[in-house]
Amino acid sequence: GAVVSQHPSRVICKSGTSVKIECRSLDFQATTMFWYRQFPKQSLMLMATSNEGSKATYEQGVEKDKFLINHASLTLSTLTVTSAHPEDSSFYICSADPGSGTDTQYFGPGTRLTVL
Amino acid sequence: KQEVTQIPAALSVPEGENLVLNCSFTDSAIYNLQWFRQDPGKGLTSLLLIQSSQREQTSGRLNASLDKSSGRSTLYIAASQPGDSATYLCAVSPTTASKLTFGTGTRLQVTL
């Protein structure tokens, strides 16, 4: 149990286009999901906290108008990178918190974004 | 602001060796600490979770300790195997159901 999926696993796009990444909790509900970004040979950095039915909370330095987050249901959160540029190329990972007293989060397999 | 550091950044050991990975954090007001494994280009696999009230957790060949007051944790891997080769990340959480602050990671290579 406790599986989180991400789609797509890999995407290549042209500069200026928008890319949507989906994060789904497959066998549990998650009122809270987190979006992280990982640049090559660096650790994960939290971008935003996504709460079902409300606006996401963004970390300092993360542009909310560029990285749009929608948490429309208890099993799905989406991250849209708008007007992507080469510097947005990164590995994006989501995690989902099942709540109910569980102290751990479950991570998706990640999405590799390459902007040409 | 919480900062998490891991030493060493990279480590190469021959198969069969016991090894210790280190993690330190600047703010001792944590709820729990976790150790994760990340294979190249992949997501994270949770290895061990230690609550702030605990001193250690064990799973198979892995043992993690926590000294909250000094802001340190260690991950001990016994009898290392080539399959243990990966990046190991520690992460701390200030409260339950909270965002994680990750360490810089240790890239481990276990050679035959």
Q: What is the pLDDT of residue A99?
A: 77
User: pLDDT (tens digit, 9 = 90+) per residue, B13-51?
Assistant: 999 999 999 999 999 999 999 999 999 888 899 999 999
- Angstrom distance (rounded) from CA A34 to CA A50: 6
- The distance of B5 to chain A (nearest Cα, Å) reads 10
| A107 in B contact zone (CB under 8 Å) | yes
Q: Touching check for A88 and chain B: CB below 8 Å? A: no
B90 three-class SS? strand
pLDDT per residue as tens digits for the range B50-91: 999 999 999 999 999 999 999 999 999 999 999 999 999 999
Residue numbers in chain A where pLDDT is lower than 50 = none
Q: Say whether A103 and B41 touch across the interface (CB within 8 A).
A: no
Measured between its terminal Cα atoms, the distance across chain B in Å is 41
Q: Look over chain A and give the mean of its residue pLDDT values, rounded to a whole number.
A: 92
Q: Inform me whether the C-beta atom of residue A91 falls under 8 Å from chain B C-beta atoms.
A: yes
- Between CA A4 and CA A94, with CA B21 as vertex, the angle to 5 degrees is 15
Peptide bond into A86 cis (omega under 30): no
Q: Do residues A111 and A67 make contact, with C-beta atoms less than 8 angstroms apart?
A: no
- The predicted structure's pLDDT at residue A2: 80
